Amino acid sequence: MKVYILDADANKYRGIYYTNEDDIIEFNQRFNGTPIKKSWTGQERFAFVPRRLIRGDTPSLSSHIPVFNSKAVNILGDLLEPNGELLPITCDGERLFLFNVTRVVDALDEPRSEVERFDSGRIMSIEEYSFIEE
């Protein structure tokens, strides 16, 4: 099993943010492992932050919504497309793609992993991963 961890360097490269603060929770909840491409309009608004940093190929947005520029999509497309949806956006005139992961596998060995949970019991973060091999 191959496990990839995408970790955008927000200290060196610009990130982006969703500009409609009134809708941010609903926006984030749409990225839950289910397809949304059919309803995607691409009209959502984003902006780069902080502007003093350089633009990279994978700007940070949210821990569960990867973002790629066209160069990264050209390089990683064969890996990305079978596992999710590339959703086009425009950010300050630049074409970017949000990646909606739709291939979700129940492979986390929770008892052997170091997991931090919300009060509700849902997983907040995973400090150390252990996977069920099959």
SS (H, E, C) 5-59: CCCCCCCCECEEEECCHHHHHHHHHCCCCCCCHHHCCCCCCEEEECCCCECCCCC
What pTM was computed for the model? 0.86
Token duo for residue 98: 């949000």
Q: What is the pLDDT along the chain (134 residues), one digit of tens a residue?
A: 677 778 888 889 999 999 998 999 999 999 999 999 999 998 999 999 988 899 999 999 988 899 999 999 999 999 999 999 999 999 999 999 999 999 998 999 999 999 999 999 988 889 999 999 88
